[in-house]
Amino acid sequence: MYMPPMMRTIYTLFLRALLLRCPRCGKGKLFCGVFAMYERCPHCNWRFEREEGYWTGAIALNLVISEFLVAAFVVPLAAMQTPLLPLFAIGIPIAIALPFIFYRHAKSFWIAIDFLMNPVALRP
């Protein structure tokens, strides 16, 4: 099946982001711990953090996705007039946990998005 080059690039970058791999080579891991990230790719030596404040976009992406999921879950419960105590008991822990759960992938997808906006040659 034919896929235009730009779509192939987007697909490749987002697949690498989903797998938490370097967007440039796809082989190096992004994280050396739960929340600790390598400064450079262990395989191709590409620098992940481009400038001061680089991760602001990842934080925004994480917040938007997390809060959208909380709203998608809690708003229908509120519309069904669920009592406040169960609603808070479900909504507050989810709102606190989701940003931690999506932290690594938010950073990974932010690097992929940046790679799309500021292209560098992909390595196979």
Identify whether 75 is part of a domain: yes
Q: For residue 122, is it within any domain?
A: no
Q: Is residue 124 domain-resident? A: no
* Alpha helical stretches, state H, 1-124: 5-18, 56-79, 84-101, 103-117
Cβ neighbours around 117 below 10 Å, total: 6
Is position 58 within any domain? Answer: yes
Alpha-carbon dihedral sign for residues 51, 123, 6, 12? negative
Nearest CA among 35, 42, 47 for reference residue 100: 35
What is the pTM (predicted TM-score) of this model?
0.84
Helical pair 103-117 and 56-79, crossing angle rounded to 10 deg: 120
Q: Is position 104 within any domain?
A: yes
Looking at the 3D structure of the chain, how many domains does it have? Answer: 1
Whose tokens are 């976009």? That residue is 57
pLDDT at 5: 81
Q: What is the pLDDT of residue 32?
A: 93
Note the pLDDT tens digit of each residue in 18-45.
Answer: 999 999 999 999 999 899 999 999 999 9
Look at residue 50 in the predicted model and tell me its pLDDT.
Answer: 80
The answer to whether residue 25 sits within a structural domain is yes
Residues of the chain with pLDDT under 70: 1, 121-124
Whether 57 maps to a domain, the answer reads yes
Residue 64: what pLDDT? Answer: 94
Range of 75's domain? 5-117
Measured CA to CA, the distance from residue 48 to residue 111 in angstroms comes to 7
